[in-house]
Amino acid sequence: MKYYVGIDLGGTNIVAGVVDEEYRIIAKASTKTNCPRPEKEIADDMAKMALQAVKNANLTIDDIEWVGVGTPGIANSATGIIEYSNNLGFRNTPMVKYIQETINKPVFIENDANAAAYGEYVAGAAKGAKNAVCITLGTGVGGGIIIDGKIYSGSNFAGAEIGHTVIEVDGPQCSCGRKGCFEVFSSATGLIRMSKEAMAACPESVMNKMAKENGKVTARTSFDAMRAGDKTAKEVVDKYIKYLAAGITNTINIFQPDVLCIGGGVCNEGDPLLLPVKALVKEEVYTRNSEKNAEIVIAKLGNDAGIIGAAFLGRANS
């Protein structure tokens, strides 16, 4: 049996996992990312979590074939440098070099959404597809594109930034510097923002009561309040789904994949999210009169997609 380490670097947590050749995670280790702080400190913690995961699997580093890293931002897989990550504050960070100072193994890096998409492609909702797109609805909106079984990252390793395509010109400010990005509306952060705006405009909304009971507004607040019969919450959910469907339709129109899977915590809503999105996309997609259209599905691997995809970056780069 062969083993690989996948590291999922997020803005909140660093999670490393040991994955076997049958795509099973057999052990994990995690720690807080604690941004902002020096990039070398974050890299050192990534290496530590990789070694801890190996130890938790009752293996040694000699049993590991390679280490793969999924990171937010522009990850140059040729140089091993994270050129830019607006959420982590990285600028030209030599991540492969830093990790290899602690772990003497081949190390591969890739954008985190690309890694998650590759995970879904090899072991999840897009398994068996020739061409696939995965959209992750988290703090931001991540995109991963698989074409003919290969990760598409563009000529400058910055491809698949679907979240930074504009849905509404001169809309709300995005952290990337543009306004009205897909990410501003369809991320969990965007859903929370729209919920808060609606709550402020309508203090009698059930959302206000739920937020007070929970101590905060979450991406679930509007959906939960909608299920409780709250009209304002339904308006928020409908608005969110409309923007999400617009972004998905744009993506399908460009890439026409076999499968488009959506992941992230918001997708835990299941059919109340998926069914209206599919209905809107079906009405709007350019190929609506074609016999074959992209199948829209919920990602299967959850938070493990990034770990599994990162673990197999050595194969993706072969």
Q: Are residues 144 and 49 located together in one domain of the fold?
A: no
- Which CATH number goes with the domain that contains 294? 3.30.420.40
pTM above 0.85, yes or no: yes
Residue span of the structural domain in which 184 resides: 128-298
**Per-residue model confidence (pLDDT) at position 138:** 87
- Tally of domains in the chain: 2
Residues 6+ apart with CB under 8 A from 145: 114, 117, 132, 133, 151, 152, 159, 160, 255, 257
Q: Are residues 190 and 260 located together in one domain of the fold?
A: yes
Q: Are residues 114 and 187 located together in one domain of the fold?
A: no
Q: Are residues 191 and 253 located together in one domain of the fold?
A: yes
**CA neighbor of 182 nearest in space, from 240, 244, 252:** 244
**Per-residue model confidence (pLDDT) at position 137:** 92
**Per-residue model confidence (pLDDT) at position 271:** 93
Task: Find out whether 87 and 139 touch, Cβ atoms under 8 Å.
Answer: yes
Q: What is the distance of C-alpha 195 from the center of its chain?
A: 22
Q: What is the DSSP letter of 309?
A: H
Task: Give the pLDDT means over successive 10-residue stretches in the chain (318 positions).
Answer: 96 95 97 93 98 98 97 92 88 97 96 93 95 92 93 90 95 93 96 97 96 95 97 97 98 97 92 96 93 93 94 87
Q: Are residues 32 and 114 located together in one domain of the fold?
A: yes
Q: How many CB atoms lie within 10 A of CB 292?
A: 8
Q: How many CB atoms lie within 10 A of CB 299?
A: 22
Q: Are residues 84 and 190 located together in one domain of the fold?
A: no
By three-state DSSP, how is residue 307 classified?
helix
**Per-residue model confidence (pLDDT) at position 303:** 87
Q: Are residues 90 and 202 located together in one domain of the fold?
A: no
Q: Are residues 147 and 99 located together in one domain of the fold?
A: no
Q: Are residues 163 and 103 located together in one domain of the fold?
A: no
Q: How many CB atoms lie within 10 A of CB 34?
A: 12
Q: Are residues 271 and 177 located together in one domain of the fold?
A: yes
**Per-residue model confidence (pLDDT) at position 89:** 86
Order of strands, sheet of 107-111, starting from the edge strand that comes earlier in the sequence: 25-32, 13-20, 3-9, 64-71, 107-111
**CB-facing half-sphere around the CA of 36: CA atoms within 13 A:** 7
Q: Are residues 137 and 102 located together in one domain of the fold?
A: no
**Per-residue model confidence (pLDDT) at position 63:** 97
Q: Are residues 65 and 133 located together in one domain of the fold?
A: no
